[in-house]
Copies of this chain bind each other. A is one copy, B any other.
Amino acid sequence: MNQKTQGSTPKIRHALTIKREEDFAQWYQQVISEGEMAEESGVRGCMVIKPWGYGIWERIQKIMDARIKDAGVDNCYFPLFIPLSYFSKEADHVDGFAKEMAVVTHHRLIADGKGGLIPDPEAKLEEPLIVRPTSETVIGAAMARWVQSWRDLPLMVNQWANVVRWEMRTRMFLRTSEFLWQEGHTAHADRDDAMTETLRALEMYRDFAENVLAMPVIAGEKPENERFPGAVATYSIEAMMQDGKALQAGTSHYLGTGFAEAAGIRYQDKEGQQALAHTTSWGVSTRMIGGVIMTHGDDDGLRVPPAIAPHQIIILPMLREDEGDEALLAYCEEIRRALIGQQALGEPVRVLLDKRPGKATQKRWAWVKKGAPIILEIGGRDAAGGMVSVLRRDQIWREDAKTNFVAQSREDFIAAAAATLEDIQRSLHAQATERRDANITRGLTTLAQVAEFFDDKNRYPGWVELNWARPTGAALEKVVEQLKALKLTIRNTAMDAAPAEGTCPFTGEPAVERIYVARSY
Binds B, one of A98-106, A204-212, A294-302, A456-464: A98-106
Compute how far the CA of A55 lies from the CA of B108 in the bound complex, rounded to whole angstroms: 33
Check if A116 is an interface residue, CB within 8 A of chain B. Answer: yes
Given the interface pairs A75-B55, A166-B108, the reply to whether A80 lies near B178 with Cβ below 8 Å is yes
Inter-chain contacts of A118 with B (CB < 8 A): 84, 128
Check if A406 is an interface residue, CB within 8 A of chain B. Answer: no
Inter-chain contacts of A138 with B (CB < 8 A): 41-43, 48
Compute how far the CA of A142 lies from the CA of B84 in the bound complex, rounded to whole angstroms: 33
Check if A129 is an interface residue, CB within 8 A of chain B. Answer: yes
Given the interface pairs A49-B76, A84-B117, the reply to whether A109 lies near B101 with Cβ below 8 Å is yes
Q: What 0/1 readout, one digit per residue, does chain A (37-79) give for beta carbons within 8 Å of chain B?
A: 0010111001111110011011000000000000000111111
Interface size on A, residues (CB 8 A): 67
* Complex contact B48–A82 (CB within 8 A): no
Nearest opposing residue in chain B for A79, CB measure = B46
Give the secondary structure class of A's interface.
mixed
* Complex contact B48–A76 (CB within 8 A): yes
Compute how far the CA of A391 lies from the CA of B178 in the bound complex, rounded to whole angstroms: 47
Inter-chain contacts of A357 with B (CB < 8 A): 151
A interface with B by C-beta (< 8 Å):
39, 41-43, 46-51, 54-55, 57-58, 74-85, 87-88, 91, 94, 99-111, 115-119, 128-131, 138, 141-142, 145, 151, 157, 161-162, 164, 166, 178, 180, 356-358
Q: Can you list 23 A-B contacts (CB < 8 A)?
A: A41-B138, A42-B138, A43-B129, A50-B76, A54-B77, A55-B74, A57-B77, A79-B178, A80-B178, A81-B102, A84-B118, A85-B116, A94-B117, A99-B110, A102-B104, A103-B104, A103-B107, A103-B109, A103-B119, A104-B104, A104-B105, A104-B131, A118-B128
A42-B141, A54-B75 known; 14 other A-B pairs, CB under 8 Å?
A42-B83, A46-B81, A48-B76, A48-B77, A48-B138, A49-B76, A81-B178, A84-B116, A84-B117, A94-B109, A101-B108, A107-B166, A108-B166, A162-B162
